[in-house]
Structure 1
Amino acid sequence: MFRGSLTALVTPFKNGAVDEDAFAALAERQINAGTHGLVPCGTTGESPTLEADEKKRLIALTVEIAAGRVPVIAGTGSNATASTIAMQRYAKEAGADAGLVVAPYYNKPSQDGLFAHFKAVSDAVDLPIIVYNIPGRSIVDIQTPAMARIAALKNVAGVKDATGDIGRVSAYRIAITGEFCQLSGEDPTAIAYNAHGGQGCISVTSNVAPDLCAQMQEASLEGRLDDARAIQDKLYPLHQALFLSPSPGPAKYALSLMGLCSDELRLPLTGPDETVKAAIRAALDHAGLEYSA
C-alpha cells in the first residue's frame, strides 16, 4: 500500500490560524501531480505546535480530500504513549490508512522502552503503524534488534527511516521477516535508499515539486535509474536548499513564491534569512519550477 512519493504536508497558517483552504488546495495539487500518498501532521506539518483539535481536523480533512485516491498516513505520534494511542484511535475513526508514530522524543527511552511504547499502540488500536525513526530530532535511535521486535507486532507495517544511514535498509531486510515497508525520510538519498530495497520516500521536497518527486520515485522503483538520476540532478539543489534553515521554513517560503500558501510559521520556528531565500530561488530555477520573484 505504501510506496513511491508520499508528501509530508506543510500546515499553512493565516494570521496564526490553520488555513484550511490553502491546505485543501495543497493536498489536491499533490494528488493531481501524481503523489502516491499524503502525510499530514508530521514534522513538516509543524505538529509540535498544533493543538489536538487542529491535528484531528487536518487528519479528517486530508482523508476527505484524498477520498480513497491515495493513502493517508496521519501523524499521530508524541512522546506520551497515552496521547499517541488517543490520536492513533482518532486517525482510525477518521478513515486514515495508517498512523505515523514517532520514536518518543525528549524522554530518551531505552530500547526496551521503545518496544513497549510501540507494542502498547499496536495493541490498543487496529490501524497500521509506520514507525518514525528520526534520531536527529528525537535523540533516541531505534536500533536494528529493537526494530525487528517492533516489526513483529501485529499492526506495524513499516518504517520511515530518517537516520540517513542507507545501510539500515539491508540490516532491516536481514533482521525482519514478513512484510515490512521501508520508506526513506531523507530526500537527497531517496534513490540510493530504494536501490538497497526501500519502497519510497516520505518527502519534504515533494511539497514544492510533487510531479518531479513522483516521477523520480516511479523511475527508481521500476529500475529506470538513468531517468531517476536525471530527475534527481534537477532536484538536488532544492533538496539541499530546503534544509538550509529549520524546516519547513524554506518549503513554505518556496510555496509562497509559487502563490500556494503564506510563509507563516508558528514559534519557535522563524523563517529563512535572505541568503537562504536566494538559494531557494536558485534551486527553483535549476529545477525549472515557475514562481514569482
Structure 2
Amino acid sequence: MFTGSIPALATPFRDGAFDEVAYRKLIDWQIENGSKGLVPCGTTGEASTLSNAEHHRVIEVCIEQAAGRVPVIAGCGSNDTKNALLHMGFSKKAGATAGLCVAPYYNRPSQTGLIAHFSYLAEHSDLPIVLYNVPGRTVTDIEDETVVELVRRFPDRIVAIKDASGDLSRVADHRMGLSKDFCQLSGNDELWLPHAAAGGSGCISVTANVAPKLCAEFHEAIAANELAKARELNDRLFPLHYAMFSDASPAPVKYALSRVHDWFSDEVRLPICRASDASRKAVDEALAIAGLI
C-alpha cells in the first residue's frame, strides 16, 4: 500500500508556536524531491509535546498542502485508546490515507492489551491503520504473533507496519505468518537496505527530512535491483543516519534542516533541547559527506 521514502516530518516551531509557513515549504520540497508519502505528528514531529488542537492542525495543514500528490499517514498514536481514536476520527475527516498508531507507551500493556487496543481502534474507525512498533521508546513490544493476529482479524483495517525494533528477522517472520504482500516499512534508516532485501517496501525515515532526493534515489536503486548504486548511496547517507540521533531527537534533524534552509528554525520544545555542539559538529560533517552543504 505504501512504498519508497516517506519522511516522518519534523514540526517547525518559531517563537514557541507551530510555523505553518515553514511546514508548507517543507512539504512542497519533500514532494518535489521524490518523497512518496508524508507522516505528520510522528515521533520526529514532536507529537508528544503538541496539544490536541495543534496536533490536528499540523495534520490538517499537511493534508491540505500535499493536495493528494502523495499519501499522508497521520500520526494517531496515544497511550490512551480513546484519544488515539479521537486522532483517527479527525484524520479520517481531514482526508488522511491512514493513521500511524504506535504501541501505547508508559502504560506497558500486555500483548492481550495491545490486541484489545488496536482491535478497538479498528472496530470504531474505518481509517486504515499502520502499526508502529518502537520498543526502544515505548518499552512495549508488538510481538510477531500479535501482529499476525491483528492483521488476520482486520485485514482491511490494519494494512502495514512501521518496524523500528531493530530486529530484521521480523520481516521474514511477518511474511511467513501473513501474505507476502503485507506492507512492511522500516523505521530505522540505517537498516533500510537489509530491511528492503528481506522484503520491506520502503522506510518511514528521519534522514529523508533533510535528504529527500538522496533517499528517494536510494529507494529507486533498491527497487531496480541496482545494488552497486544502492550501496554507493547508502555509504553517502549512513553518517547522516547516525548523526540524526547524535542528540535527543528531533534536535539534530531540526539543526540539519536549519543548515539546509534558512526558513526552517532549529527550535524544539522542552524537554528536548537544541542540539549540542558535539551533535552539530556530527551533523555538519555528515551533511558534507552527503553533499548537502
Q: TM-score range by the shorter chain?
A: over 0.9
Residue matched to 1:17: 17
| 1:253-292 aligned within 5 A | 253-258=255-260, 259-290=262-293
Instruction: Give the CA deviation at 1:58.
Output: 1.0
Q: TM-score, normalised by structure 2?
A: 0.97
Q: Residue 230 of structure 1 is aligned with which of 226, 229, 232?
A: 232
- Separation (CA, whole Å) in 1 of partners of 2:257 and 2:180: 40
SS at match of 1:5: strand
- Separation (CA, whole Å) in 1 of partners of 2:225 and 2:175: 19
Question: What letter corresponds to residue 169 of structure 2 in structure 1?
Answer: G
SS at match of 2:42: coil
8 Å contact from structure 1 (residues 250, 272) kept in 2: yes
Asked if residue 75 in structure 1 is aligned to residue 75 in structure 2, the reply is yes
Question: What letter corresponds to residue 114 of structure 2 in structure 1?
Answer: L
Question: What letter corresponds to residue 285 of structure 1 in structure 2?
Answer: A
Instruction: Give the CA deviation at 1:57.
Output: 0.8
The CA RMSD over aligned residues, in Å, is 0.9
Residue matched to 2:117: 117
SS at match of 2:208: helix
CA distance 1:222–1:24, shift in 2 (3 Å): same
- Separation (CA, whole Å) in 1 of partners of 2:183 and 2:136: 21
- Separation (CA, whole Å) in 1 of partners of 2:101 and 2:232: 33
CA distance 1:21–1:93, shift in 2 (3 Å): same
Instruction: Give the CA deviation at 1:150.
Output: 1.3
**Deviation digits for residues 181-208 of structure 1, max 9, x if unmatched?**
1000000110110000000000000000
Instruction: Give the CA deviation at 1:226.
Output: 1.1
8 Å contact from structure 1 (residues 169, 198) kept in 2: yes
- Separation (CA, whole Å) in 1 of partners of 2:263 and 2:214: 17
Q: Residue 155 of structure 1 is aligned with which of 135, 148, 157?
A: 157
8 Å contact from structure 1 (residues 205, 242) kept in 2: yes
Residue matched to 1:49: 49
8 Å contact from structure 1 (residues 6, 37) kept in 2: yes
**Deviation digits for residues 103-133 of structure 1, max 9, x if unmatched?**
0000000001101100000111101100000
Asked if residue 58 in structure 1 is aligned to residue 91 in structure 2, the reply is no
- Separation (CA, whole Å) in 1 of partners of 2:62 and 2:279: 30
Which blocks of at least 5 consecutive residues in structure 2 are unaligned? none
Q: TM-score, normalised by structure 1?
A: 0.97
**Deviation digits for residues 21-80 of structure 1, max 9, x if unmatched?**
001100110000010000000000000000111111111111111111100000011001
Segments of 4+ in structure 1 off by > 2 A? Answer: none
8 Å contact from structure 1 (residues 77, 102) kept in 2: yes
| 1:84-123 aligned within 5 A | 84-123=84-123
- Separation (CA, whole Å) in 2 of partners of 1:199 and 1:214: 13
- Separation (CA, whole Å) in 1 of partners of 2:21 and 2:6: 21
Matched residue count: 290
SS at match of 1:104: coil
Instruction: Give the CA deviation at 1:178.
Output: 6.6
8 Å contact from structure 1 (residues 26, 260) kept in 2: no
Residue matched to 2:188: 186
Range moving further from structure 2, 177-186 or 34-43: 177-186
Sequence identity (%): 49
Question: What letter corresponds to residue 19 of structure 1 in structure 2?
Answer: D
CA distance 1:23–1:111, shift in 2 (3 Å): same
Question: What letter corresponds to residue 2 of structure 2 in structure 1?
Answer: F
